Amino acid sequence: MKRFIQLGALILVLCLAMPAFSMGLEEAKSQLDTAKQQGLVGETPTGYLEVVKADGNARGIVDAINKARRTEYARIAEKHDIPVTQVETVAGQKALEKTPAGQYILVDGEWVRK
């Protein structure tokens, strides 16, 4: 039961924290939105982005956003005394759920358009 409560609290923290860490990356976020709409970048269940189709600055965008995510996941994990992998998994699930129709997500090792 205690683990269930911790997981619920983690989900709440992630929902509140995601916009905060990305605010300093407004330009990268704007480029990310464009890259996602163009099918160049997709969300994965690991909580990180990956390049779907290497074109333009897709790799640079993915690297910048993933670096910020990695830092934030580590901060959340330390704050709640849980493994980073647990934070990554919850964040990945949320990202897949929130991905709009028409954008790519990684499902069972295959890129699919949601």
The number of distinct structural domains making up the chain is 1
Closest CA to 44 of 69, 71, 7: 69
Q: Work out the mean pLDDT of the chain and round it to a whole number.
A: 85
| Distance between CA atoms of residues 47 and 45, nearest Å | 5
pLDDT band at 110 (very low <50, low <70, confident <90, very high): very high
pLDDT tens-digit profile of 41-53?
A: 999 999 999 999 9
pLDDT tens-digit profile of 52-84?
A: 999 888 999 999 999 999 999 999 999 999 999
Q: Which residues of 23-38 are buried (b: 16+ CB within 10 A; e: fewer)?
A: eebeebbebbeebbee
Does residue 102 have a pLDDT over 80? Answer: yes
Domain residue limits at 77: 2-113
